[in-house]
Amino acid sequence: MVFPSKPPEPGSMNRLVRKHPSLFGVPFLLIMVGASYGLTLFTQTRYDLHDQKVKNVTKEQELKLKKDRKKFDIREEYFRLSAQADEDWEPRRIQRPAGLPEWGVPPTTPP
């Protein structure tokens, strides 16, 4: 098989690109630069959301405590301890030292 010495005629689009290469290059560069900026916005949003999720950690998660534990209430603890204190001791009256009057009664003679 013998190839013809004359190459096939280029199409109209091929001739246009050969005459004005910017018709192909400028849109290509615009797409590349625009995509770069677009992806920058998406990745920044992704990292911001991840950073926000990491910062929104509760005290329990921070301290790695159990979630099913009872919450601490200072008033409840006070009442529990005061009730416990009433059970553990019994008030007794002791003998006063000699010469010391009962409460509310002023001494008859100055010391």
Residue 88, pLDDT score: 66
The reported pTM is 0.34
Residue ranges, the chain, pLDDT below 50 = none
CA distances from 37 to 28, 43, 74, 99 (A): 15, 10, 55, 96
What is the model's pLDDT at position 63? Answer: 73
Please tell me the predicted confidence (pLDDT) of residue 9.
Answer: 72
pLDDT of residue 71: 80
List Cβ neighbours of 108 (8 Å cut-off, separation of 6 or more). Answer: 101
Residue 36's pLDDT is what?
92
